[in-house]
A and B are shown apart, each in its own frame.
Chain A
């Protein structure tokens, strides 16, 4: 895409350096733990060692005797104010602190408030809790057995552990196709429970001013406005009124969905500050973050794909068992308990499909957050991309060929999917062709055949995913009733410099740069003179925050729309200044000129100055606009990834030799930021493919609850990522952009898994669950008699 604006203006398409990096790379970012207020106290949390236990007694005497410990808050204390339970974003209920039962290991049991972080930790150590352990239910299948004990006995009339059943598509029509299909393939695919492991853990500083009755809450949240409203709804009855709540989300060190939910620690800090009247800081440590904060994934999917003998795919059926832990604390839009899982038909032209899901309570921590994916899209993409490879193996067709034959064609867009989505635009053939060209697909297949003759293991894996992002249109999308629009407010100062505020919140995405570029594109004010501000609910317009790749599709669109309102005003002022009619004016980035007389022109800076100094009579003075953007549809980014692996037959070690990611996210705002997003996302896709999984034993213990055992890949493990792009603009988005942050996290795991399984397929391997570790491969090699003795 050529740039419409000059380098000086720095509108869309310019790879300008990130404005925020000046502070980040110098260690000058201001994160929540950098906030220090006079008289600030510290909160630390007593956590349950049991996955399921009755609390018989909590003895706080020894803790209170420690000099510097000011208070210990228990569930019984919160019960007095009816604050011991809170709603989740999915309208389930969650304990703030328990009064009688703990439901998962590491659950918050009591909060200790002290004059220093160290004293608070000593206080935690001194709190004595008398538990009566019970046998936990750790597997969703067990939880749904008819005689399973009911975990949520707090819910009146609850007779089982089923949270909800959800289904969509044509059950009977799909069954009919399956009955008559030439080929049916079926696999059990498990996507394990993983964690976002953002570099910064969660935390807050709650500062309640007793005189003003105002709460200022500095908090690691991706959705500050929603938090303010939730606080007002939950704690309204104890006097927290929405105008007296200010949520400030400072710099955030990674969110990835994990900083959307409200954790008990936040509420305890607020309660403590209100109670004591002093600021209270709570910052999780790494282990607490990993063990108690919202997990992601944990879907056990039974997938079936029907096709004719030529490989024309006909129907898809997926039945999923979802483990939500002890409460449904996912952060999906209200009407979508399984998020956007129904994107599982992927990039393929299906006649019919059906998917259903049972969500179960277990004694695991709650969650189901959209870890760098737009609400369960990662699970959906993994299912379909594995199944397409599985079909290719079954009928002996090349997986690239099979994909090409079944892709939705370019001229079918806008495309109505079998499960009800209207895909906005796409060109799947071009993306896969490009990936195949870059990596030299045909030569790789020849090489693979040669290597197999020599007993060497090499695999090629493809993933051609379709994402669904930008939630979302208000007719279907809300969280706790609040519609999922987003907003931008632009205020241009007399000298032509601007501040723009948004309802979203960057956690590393580079909003301060990209939003400025969108406004620069529309108004011609240089991006470097547009200051972007987010995260302060006292100043920013209302919006639902940043997750699910929604910032560009919603707030980015709002920026363009607000800027266009200003350009309209600018045209009027220019006409007034140049004494011509509006129709006689021509816009080029940064100025209006008279048609046919380009020397008669007014720059945007002159026009803005006039709006304060010489505005036309009858026109409002000043140069400000606000827009709340309600998207007409979601956007559907896509891409084709190809991964090449070599496997060591003696150790099972997997080496990713090459990985090409061809992404199409529509029009690009800043190619350098897109590239950076893709690199990061691919590494976070590598993580579950080969390393990460939260493992629980049957007693409810987390067996890898620290970074000693939970393997997060670093630069050392990451291969050299190769990237390329195609551009298929979104037809309904004001700037044709689609969102990119999550595509690579969605697309990388199936590409890697498919490559590894491809390397082993001639040995009879049809499927392996992620993470595919060297140990798993080594075991398979031994089972198949293909291992080399060291």
Chain B
């Protein structure tokens, strides 16, 4: 099953600094919740690991990330990743697109989209929650991105490891909370808007 999540946010850093961060897989991977890079195969290809706990299903995707497009002229990059769960519980495919636009008066607008397709247990048991969880993931991604961008601006050590694993309980808690908030607010985005996920 497939889910596409899009998010646009702003950072106050100049576009070239943001681009340097976004276009470096070793840096950007550390923003993906639960992800670590384990090996550089070549300039375009890396091996890595993503761990997630999803209610009753814990998965550890072992896979490859490769850079499909990297275009500094229009600040556009496309990453694709494919992972298999190490215990055979399923697979995940992801295509991430990042685009930057310079803001007037400094700062940068970051457009990020992720198309995630999962098979196996996560799809079987989590199909109703996958959109919400992906949204939480991208929120965490954005917050990590901002944090690390700040750090990279200051210390030149972007790969410094903070707690970067997905906390299943807190993630689920966040999903549940956003669903409940959605119910009370009548907020369509936070509610279970089925059209958001195509299957």
Contacts and interface: CB of A to CB of B under 8 A. Distances in A.
Interface string A121-157: 0000100111101000000000000000000000000
Nearest to A58: B88
A709 B128 contact: yes
Contact of A133 (B2, B119, B121, B125): B119
A37 interface: no
B127 A131 contact: no
Interface string B118-135: 111101110110000000
A131 B91 CA distance: 10
Interface in B27-42: none
A261 interface: no
Contacts of B1: 697, 699, 701, 703
Contact of A700 (B84, B85, B88, B119): B119
Contact of B124 (A129, A133, A291): A291
B84 A133 contact: yes
A230 interface: no
B199 interface: yes
A106 B119 CA distance: 12
A50 B90 contact: yes
B117 interface: yes
A699 B87 contact: no
A708 B120 CA distance: 17
B124 A705 contact: yes
Interface string A735-761: 000000000000000000000000000
B86 A128 contact: yes
A50 B124 CA distance: 10
Contact of B199 (A105, A125, A697): A697
A105 B88 contact: no
B13 interface: no
B21 to A, nearest CB: 33
A701 B127 contact: yes
B123 A50 contact: no
B88 A699 contact: no
Contacts of B99: none
A721 B132 CA distance: 40
A702 interface: yes
A701 B87 contact: no
A49 interface: yes
Interface string B85-102: 111111100000000000
Contacts of B85: 49
A699 B117 contact: yes
A50 B84 CA distance: 11
Interface in B98-149: 117-121, 123-125, 127-128
B124 A702 contact: yes
Contacts of A706: 124-125
A128 B123 contact: no
A133 B199 contact: no
Nearest to A49: B120
Contacts of A287: 124
Contact of B84 (A105, A131, A704): A131
Interface in A23-51: 48-51
Contacts of B87: 125, 128-129
A291 B120 CA distance: 12
Interface in A151-166: none
Contacts of A291: 124
Contacts of B118: 701
A307 B37 CA distance: 69
Interface residues of B, number: 21
Contacts of A131: 84, 88
A403 to B, nearest CB: 39
Given A291-B124, A703-B1, A128 B91 contact: no
A50 B128 contact: no
Interface string B60-91: 00000000000000000000000011111111
Interface string A96-137: 000000000110000000000000000001001111010000
A50 B127 contact: no
Nearest to B194: A775
Nearest to B90: A49
B195 to A, nearest CB: 11
B123 A129 contact: no
Nearest to A133: B91
Given A49-B90, A50-B90, A708-B128, A701 B84 contact: no
Contacts of A133: 84, 91, 119
A50 B119 contact: yes
Nearest to A136: B119
B86 A701 contact: no
A51 B123 CA distance: 12
B84 A699 contact: no
Nearest to B58: A125
Contacts of B91: 49-50, 133
A709 B88 contact: no
A130 B88 contact: yes
A437 B78 CA distance: 68
Nearest to B125: A706
A636 to B, nearest CB: 42
B124 A105 contact: yes
Contacts of B121: 49
Contacts of A708: 128
A50 B120 contact: yes
Contact of A709 (B90, B117, B120, B127): B127
Given A49-B91, A695-B199, A703-B199, 12 more contacts: A49-B121, A50-B91, A50-B120, A51-B119, A105-B124, A129-B88, A133-B119, A697-B1, A699-B117, A700-B119, A701-B1, A705-B124
Interface of B: 1-2, 84-91, 117-121, 123-125, 127-128, 199
24 contacts: A49-B121, A50-B91, A50-B120, A51-B119, A105-B124, A128-B86, A128-B87, A128-B88, A131-B84, A131-B88, A287-B124, A695-B199, A697-B199, A699-B119, A699-B123, A700-B119, A701-B119, A701-B120, A701-B124, A703-B124, A703-B127, A706-B124, A706-B125, A708-B128
